[in-house]
Amino acid sequence: MTLIHNVASARRKRRVQELLDCMTNPTASQLSSLSADSLTGVSLSECSICLDNFFDNKHIIVQAPCHPTHAFHWICLQDWLEGRLDCPMCRAQFILHHSS
């Protein structure tokens, strides 16, 4: 049972990696300008998963495909998606494609 679980877990991690690789990687300054142009009033200065400021560290930032203001640290979203397949902000479902 453990071997099957390990194989399934490794497969899911690989698919999550592929999903993240397809997402846009804006810089913190690009997010800042998007925030200023947005009518939503949402500040894009911090990751909504870990709440760390985008400008304070060197983590890669990713934008979720559901909305341009849904941005996270790559590593935070990776951990999130390994447990659940939805956007941490709006709960839009993400689909993991089956790789060969």
What is the tens place of the pLDDT at every residue in 8-55?
A: 788 889 999 999 999 989 888 887 777 655 555 566 788 999 999 888
Q: Is residue 9 part of a domain?
A: no
Its pTM stands at: 0.79
38/80 Cα distance (integer angstroms): 26
Q: Is residue 4 part of a domain?
A: no
Q: For 55-68, write each residue's pLDDT tens digit.
A: 876 789 999 999 88
Could you give the number of structural domains in the chain? 1
Question: Tokens 């990776």 belong to which residue?
Answer: 78
Q: Is residue 15 part of a domain?
A: no
Residues of the domain holding 85: 21-100
Q: Is residue 48 part of a domain?
A: yes
Q: Is residue 6 part of a domain?
A: no
The token duo for 31 is: 């997010």
50/96 Cα distance (integer angstroms): 23
73/65 Cα distance (integer angstroms): 14
- Written as one string, the DSSP assignment of 34-83 is HHHH-SS----SB-TTT--BGGGS---EEE-TT-TT-EEEHHHHHHHHHH
Return the CATH number at 39. Answer: 3.30.40.10
